[in-house]
Structures are given as C-alpha cells and as structure tokens.
Amino acid sequence: MKLPRDIGGKELAKVLGKYGYRITHQTGSHVRLTSSFKGTEHHVTVPSHRALRAGTLSGILNDIATYLEVEKQSLVEDLFG
C-alpha cells in the first residue's frame, strides 16, 4: 500500500491515537505526540500542515515502526488500509 498524499498533521495525530499517541505540546505549526504504548515514552514531532510531504510522512512512520517493532508496511496498512 502506498502512503496517502492528502493526509494532514492533525489527521495523522488522530490516526496515531490507535497506538496511544497524544498531543502533549505544540509550538507554532508543529505538534509533539507522546506514546507509552510499549512501556517507554516515545516522542514524535509532526508538522500540523494541511498535507504532509511524502518524505516527511515516511520518516515519521519509519520512526514509529521502529518504536513499535513492526514493519513500516504493516503499520501503513493498519493505519490507512
């Protein structure tokens, strides 16, 4: 499955709630999400733009997949499939 091209930062934050990510801080147009899904805290910064660039979204999902110890492709399918 390909990455969605029209997802915004706020939408991504909402979708990531499935894995315990919550908005904990906002500075300007960036929000910080924190999860303790795996027992340790994990922080991700997401730009709250209307549409995220493909590389930015890919980097965020790579980081989250590493934290969750799953393959990126299975994470994408679970979130957007």
Instruction: Write out pLDDT tens, residues 2-25.
Output: 899 999 999 999 999 999 999 999
Predicted confidence band of residue 49 (pLDDT cuts 50, 70, 90)? confident
Give 9-68's CATH code, choosing from 3.30.920.30, 1.10.420.10, 3.20.20.150, 3.10.20.30.
Answer: 3.30.920.30
Please answer whether residues 46 and 33 qualify as being in contact, where contact means their C-beta atoms are separated by less than 8 angstroms: yes
Burial of 9 (C-beta count, 10 Å sphere; 0-12/13-18/19+): buried
Measured distance CA(75)–CA(2) in Å, rounded: 12
Q: Give the domain ranges of the chain.
A: 9-68
pTM of the shown model: 0.91
